[in-house]
Chains A and B, each alone.
Chain A
Amino acid sequence: MFSFSIVTQWIDELLRQYLCSGAVLLVECLLVGILLLGAYAVFALILIYMERRVCAFMQCRLGPNRVGPFGIFQTVADMIKILLKELVHIDRADHLLFRLAAFFVLVASVGTFGALPFAKGLQAVDFNVGVFYLLAISSLGVVGILLAGWSSNSKYTIIGAMRSGAQLISYELSCGLSLLAIVVLSGTMQLSEIVELQADSWFIFQGHVPAVIAFFCYLIAGHAETNRGPFDLPEAESELTAGYHTEYSGIQFGFFYLAEYMNMFIVAAIAATMFLGGWMPLHIPGWEAFNHAMDYIPSAVWFLGKTFMCVFFALWVRWSFPRLRIDQLLKFEWKILMPICLINILLMAVCVAL
């Protein structure tokens, strides 16, 4: 299977011929940053287009179909539009925090995005506490949302932000606990190693019942983390107009929008990495010819395929279900989902011990 480390090492050696080691590091960091941000924007555009088409399909509509073939440039056109829009000045808002909030949300999702293993050898940073890092940095987003709600000087946003704070902090627990089940199974927190361990069979198959439970718990909790329906209370448009980002306009709103879509991608990507083998092809022990054939499919295709499948599930749920109420949402987390996750870890420990 083709490994992207060949490309990265070649670039590294090329740079080292001409530059000192410090400058090499700087150039490489810049390159990685630019590539990641580029990929981030491109994925977001693809996701927005995908959401529109999938949602239109589910609602017996056509969706975007005018700009470019099949309307694929519609999102690009919308991006240009949002860049050109006026930033509305909010009277008596806390302007420093107001501007900062959007960046918190964005930084949290870019930071998580950067640590994902996209393909064999294609990972910007490979921490030995990778899972821990993902959980930690993605939870920064809630600070941004709370700041946005507080600094906007509006009653809708403050209610939205309060709901969001309660929701994200609650569901982060289930999120972490369900990932912990996989950490128990694999014995490592390093993402590259977690993927390598799934070479023979993905964790969702290796881990018996507890892994399946953990997978579904993670999908639910992760979906709640993205603030999307049926968990979209922080921006419940029917009562709070747009929740915490009601007062934002132009590109500042665009940041929230971007982060929301990318969070959906990130949650799906983590689910794919932790449960469905990441970029690892589907291998079935004993079926040598099949396994060999699967290896011919590039690793990036595997990763993106699994991720977009999870994204599709998220969209399906989003466009089918009505919204929960805040008390139902919290009751569901604290009385149902979290106890299941806790028991599941025990179950997983028993499974691993046996």
Chain B
Amino acid sequence: METVEKELLSLGFTDVKRADNRLVVTVPKNKLYGVARYLRHERPEKFDFLIDIVGMDFGDALGAAYHLSPSQNPSLVVTLATRTDNREQPELFSVCDLWDSALVYEREVYDFFGIRFINHPDMRRIFLRTDWKGFPLRKDYNADPAINPVPLENELIPDMERMPSITIKMGERIEEVHQVFDKDEYVVNFGPQHPAMHGVLHLRVALDGEIIKKIDPVFGYIHRGIEKMCESYTYPQILHLTDRLDYLSGTMNRHAVCLCCEKALALEVPERAHYIRTIFDELTRIASHLLGWGCMCMDMGAITAFVYGLRDREKIMDIFEETAGGRLMANYNVIGGVARDIHPNFQKKVKEFIPYMRKMLKEHHLLFSNNPIARGRMKDIGYLSKEKAISLGATGPASRASGWRNDVRKIAPYAAYAKVSFDEVVRTEGLTYDRYIIRLDEIEQSLRIIEQLVDNIPEGAHAAKTKAIIRLPEGEFFQRVENARGQFAVHITSKGDKSPYRVKFRSPSLVLVGALKATAIEAKVADLIMIGASLDYVIPCIDR
């Protein structure tokens, strides 16, 4: 961190601050691209992983914060903050030629703040309809339903396909509009209602016979504006929304927000709560991977495997139900610990589950992993290189299958992860089969973690005492956790009120759809669904 700090100071940026293990650099907007390119390409330790772009409304100005990290050293985070005073026509230079993930992140910032990115090829709205008026996350947004009435008609396809862009070539400013698809392309819609779309994702796919030529994902069908809602909710209320992001890793998402708030409040969380949270996280991870495995098998036509996955997942849901009351959404973590103490049966049930799951894992391998048809389907399909995975910002099992070590549990251990020994499962080939098998291997590692913790839960309180009304001190707080799909991050900007000023969730799923675009081109249409399932994105996490 020191070296980066020195380098940035030597480049002439005086506003370099350290905040909770991050380096926050304020950059004037015309210097942003230059410093981004320096960090991305010219340093020896390249910042090739763009974690997230957080759009901001400061009241008098609009801006964006870029969280960057080097793939070799993912625990180091540098935040570039920039702002533009022009509220009427705010514009920033795009960094999408430096990081592929910026393609979606910048669209998101445009959608909510109206900041247009110069040199971005596709400045469409990403979640809201093309005919939406205003930019909802701006503080002066008018939420009057008369301005944006509930639409009674479908969006027109030609409108959805218009990609406006601004480029500056030789000092000349060009505003253009391109179409996503040519007129004579054979475009098939997958979704928003489709049996194989795990949720309401809409993929428009151009086909040549059975071969995929172009993919255009359309998001936003279940966008609920959770980030906007957070701005009017109190912190304990926000927790309930996080379970509804990626509903399959609800516990982990909630854990992230709890950790972020605890960090801001400098709250000492009892050890017992850390242990329980870790066990819950890992159980959730197993449940999520089982469902992901089952869905992937079902997408290849093996429905029996799906039912087997759900059968085993049911055991975890029963454990959750007994202790937390909730099943899919446990609603268990609270700021300062967990909501209530564990049920007397909890340890017994968990200990019963571990050998059962090991036995079933063998059966899953027997039924599906070693099936010649399944192997033939997954072989040599959907290659994602390590460089592409990093550039796309794909994290979690999908990127570890390509050989990139980025497990937050290892690089920045939280809760009880520093106390347990487990392996970060990494494969090198980056094919569909690797992404498939890595989930089953991670289940095994999660079982190992639980095994080490379940007998050693320390006695004591299950939650720290908090004030009745929780107010976070003024500042910006950033916390990452490893959920079942990758790095889930939460960015809270507080002005010292009982509600946050701005909350941004980094969805690991959003960039995985970008990875689908990168891997499925030239594959067969039957493989599109399978590759999608191997990336295992969850739509409510994308459409926040």
Contact = CB atoms under 8 A, between A and B. Distances in A.
Interface of A: 55, 58-61, 155-156, 159, 163, 229-230, 232-233, 236-239, 241, 319-328
Interface in B487-544: 524-530
Given A321-B371, A324-B377, A159 B525 contact: yes
Contacts of B196: 237-239
Given A322-B301, A322-B373, A322-B374, A60 B307 contact: yes
B194 interface: yes
A23 B25 CA distance: 99
Given A155-B188, A323-B526, A326-B210, A238 B302 contact: no
Most-contacted residue by chain B among A60, A229, A236, A322 (CB, 10 A): A322
Contacts of B302: 320-323
A327 B524 contact: yes
Interface string B294-321: 0001111111110110010000000000
B194 A241 contact: yes
B377 A325 contact: yes
A238 B311 CA distance: 21
Contacts of B373: 230, 321-324
15 contacts: A55-B304, A59-B303, A59-B304, A59-B308, A159-B188, A229-B301, A230-B301, A232-B301, A236-B301, A238-B526, A239-B526, A321-B373, A322-B297, A323-B373, A325-B377
Contact of B524 (A241, A319, A326): A326
A323 to B, nearest CB: 3
A233 B526 contact: yes
A326 B304 CA distance: 22
A55 B377 CA distance: 23
Most-contacted residue by chain A among B186, B299, B301 (CB, 10 A): B301
Given A320-B367, A321-B371, A328-B377, A238 B308 contact: no
Given A230-B373, A322-B374, A238 B525 contact: no
B377 A322 contact: yes
Interface string B472-500: 00000000000000000000000000000
Given A59-B304, A59-B308, A319-B303, A239 B371 contact: no
Most-contacted residue by chain A among B186, B302, B311 (CB, 10 A): B302
B135 interface: no
A155 B188 CA distance: 7
Interface string B347-387: 00000000000000000000110010110110000000000
Most-contacted residue by chain A among B194, B297, B311, B368 (CB, 10 A): B194
A135 to B, nearest CB: 27
A320 B304 contact: yes
Contact of A323 (B195, B301, B307, B525): B301
B363 to A, nearest CB: 11
A185 B528 CA distance: 46
Contact of B298 (A55, A155, A238, A320): A238
A53 to B, nearest CB: 14
B186 A155 contact: yes
Nearest to B195: A237
Contact of A238 (B210, B300, B307, B371): B300
B190 interface: yes
A156 B210 contact: no
Nearest to B295: A238
Given A55-B304, A238-B195, A320-B302, 4 more contacts: A59-B307, A238-B298, A241-B195, A325-B524
Contacts of A159: 188, 207, 210, 525
A40 B391 CA distance: 59
B304 A58 contact: yes
Contact of B526 (A60, A156, A236): A236
Contacts of B188: 155-156, 159
Most-contacted residue by chain B among A163, A232, A328 (CB, 10 A): A328
Contacts of B376: 324-325, 328
B56 to A, nearest CB: 41
Contacts of B299: 238
A326 B525 CA distance: 10
B529 A239 contact: yes
A320 B303 CA distance: 8
Contacts of B186: 155
A229 B298 CA distance: 12
A239 B533 CA distance: 12
Interface pairs A-B: 3 shortest CB-CB? A323-B301, A322-B300, A238-B196
Contacts of B368: 322
Contacts of B374: 322
Contacts of B527: 325
A179 B189 CA distance: 42
Interface string B401-419: 0000000000000000000
A231 to B, nearest CB: 10
A61 B190 CA distance: 30
A227 to B, nearest CB: 12
B529 to A, nearest CB: 5
Nearest to A319: B304
B315 to A, nearest CB: 13
Nearest to B524: A325
